């Protein structure tokens, strides 16, 4: 399953905790940029296999899977220089040791699935920032999961990523859209957003005016992370158990300042000067999505000359293409941040 949008990490953790309560073996992995799939998988697979090896029904199969993991690491260590994990058992010749990621990962997940089945449990891979996994590695993961699905072994993936994830998975393997369910986590409806604020307030016997609720919704546009931030600041600013428009206006400045210095700024600081100009040109046009030609026109540049910059921003997870030729921010409200941090017209030069 693929998840995308603001709040995805929170939901991913909630799903993982629920799975653990059902006695499933869960791997919590974040895929940072620049790391290979084997490097992020191997240490977590080692932990879960050691756990399975303590189950009497699965001891032998789990130990065999550990030997397979040893072969997997040894065979791919040269190809993937970031692959480092300590293993206790010697490899089993012929098991996941061919040095081909697509073949070896499928063989490894097969034997892990057999161990999990013997232990009457399942192994769930919870991978955040899945869009950061290189496309070739992602193709190998999809192939391996397809293989365990065909043999009905209890190994599954719950992934979270930015909006470009479904397209990337589709390019990696054309059958990905049939193998996975993709659920978009976007903005809440006005009623749902207001209920998210009202319910905790009511539990604390705090009242809030309809005008104040509407103002918070206008500022946040219903995005869960922003609702949490505005809710926190409103709570801190309020000096009585009644919240009105004046409280929200005061909290608004604090919420924006907090997001600017953390949520937004950490993304902005990763950008080159030209990338910043590209995003500022997008912001000039509004929240988007925007045609690539319109962005180039704002910058007084040819579309082709900006293609490398656009590709770099996609790779950094700053923008994505909802449909061919269109470009949109991956982070909601980023257009307003860009206008705040680069005001006026100096950014054009």
| Entry pTM | 0.77
Number of domains in the chain: 3
CATH number of the domain bearing residue 95: 3.40.50
259/285 same-domain check = no
32/156 same-domain check = yes
Banded pLDDT at 167 (limits 50, 70, 90): confident
What DSSP designation does 186 have?
-
pLDDT digits (tens, 9 = 90+) for 28-40: 888 887 889 999 9
pLDDT digits (tens, 9 = 90+) for 104-154: 999 999 999 999 999 999 999 999 889 889 999 999 999 999 999 999 999
Q: Are 133 and 110 in contact, with CB atoms under 8 Å apart?
A: no
Sign, CA dihedral 157-162-163-166, equals negative
On the 0-12 / 13-18 / 19+ scale of CB atoms within 10 A, 100 is middle
pLDDT at 20: 67
210/296 same-domain check = no
157/222 same-domain check = no
- Picking from 231, 250, 267, the residue at the C-terminal end of a domain is 267
10/88 same-domain check = yes
What are the backbone angles phi and psi of residue 290, rounded to the nearest 5°? Answer: -130, 150
203/314 same-domain check = no
- Picking from 160, 184, 208, the residue at the C-terminal end of a domain is 184
CATH number of the domain bearing residue 329: 1.10.10.10
153/223 same-domain check = no
> 245-259 vs 210-220: helix axis angle to the nearest 10?
20
Q: What's the rounded Cα separation, in Å, for the pair 343 and 57?
A: 65
238/277 same-domain check = no
Highest mean pLDDT: which range of 9-13, 164-168, 327-331: 327-331
- Picking from 235, 267, 299, the residue at the C-terminal end of a domain is 267
Q: What's the rounded Cα separation, in Å, for the pair 49 and 32?
A: 23
pLDDT at 235: 94
Banded pLDDT at 3 (limits 50, 70, 90): very low
306/203 same-domain check = no
Q: Is a pLDDT exceeding 60 seen at residue 6? A: no
pLDDT digits (tens, 9 = 90+) for 213-226: 999 999 999 988 89
| Residues ≥6 apart with Cβ < 8 Å to 138 | 37, 130, 168, 169, 172
52/130 same-domain check = yes
281/330 same-domain check = yes
Q: Which residue has the higher pLDDT, 90 or 23?
A: 90
pLDDT at 316: 87
Q: Is a pLDDT exceeding 60 seen at residue 4? A: no
55/176 same-domain check = yes
Q: Residue 129 sits in which domain range?
A: 2-184
CATH number of the domain bearing residue 252: 1.10.8
């Amino acid at each position: 399953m693929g998840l995308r949008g603001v709040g995805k990490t929170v939901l991913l953790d909630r799903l993982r905790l629920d799975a653990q309560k059902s006695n499933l073996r869960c791997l919590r992995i974040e895929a940072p940029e620049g790391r290979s799939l084997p490097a992020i998988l191997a240490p977590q697979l080692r932990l879960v296999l050691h756990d399975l090896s303590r189950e009497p029904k699965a001891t032998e199969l789990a130990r065999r899977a550990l030997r397979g993991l040893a072969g997997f690491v040894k065979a791919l260590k040269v190809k993937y220089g970031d692959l480092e994990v300590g293993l206790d058992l010697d490899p089993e010749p012929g098991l996941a040791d061919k040095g081909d990621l697509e073949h070896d990962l499928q063989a490894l997940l097969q034997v892990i699935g057999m161990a999990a089945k013997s232990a009457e449990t399942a192994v769930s891979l919870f991978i955040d920032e899945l869009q950061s996994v290189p496309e070739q590695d992602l193709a190998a993961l999809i192939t391996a999961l397809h293989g365990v699905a065909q043999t009905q072994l209890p190994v599954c993936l719950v992934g979270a990523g930015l909006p470009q994830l479904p397209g990337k998975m589709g390019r990696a393997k054309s059958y990905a859209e049939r193998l996975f369910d993709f659920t978009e986590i976007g903005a809440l409806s006005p009623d749902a957003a207001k209920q998210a604020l009202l319910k905790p307030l009511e539990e604390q016997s705090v009242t809030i005016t309809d005008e104040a609720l509407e103002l918070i919704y206008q500022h946040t546009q219903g995005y869960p992370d922003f609702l949490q931030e505005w809710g926190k600041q409103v709570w801190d600013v309020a000096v009585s158990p009644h919240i009105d428009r004046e409280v929200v206006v005061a909290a608004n400045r604090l919420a924006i300042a907090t997001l600017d210095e953390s949520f937004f700024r950490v993304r902005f600081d990763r950008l080159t000067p030209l990338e910043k100009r590209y995003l500022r040109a997008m912001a000039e046009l509004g929240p988007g999505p925007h045609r690539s030609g319109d962005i180039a026109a704002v910058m007084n540049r040819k579309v082709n000359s900006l293609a490398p910059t656009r590709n770099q921003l996609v790779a950094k997870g700053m923008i994505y293409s909802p449909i061919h030729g269109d470009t949109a921010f991956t982070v909601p409200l980023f257009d307003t941040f860009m206008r705040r941090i680069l005001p006026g017209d100096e950014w054009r030069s």
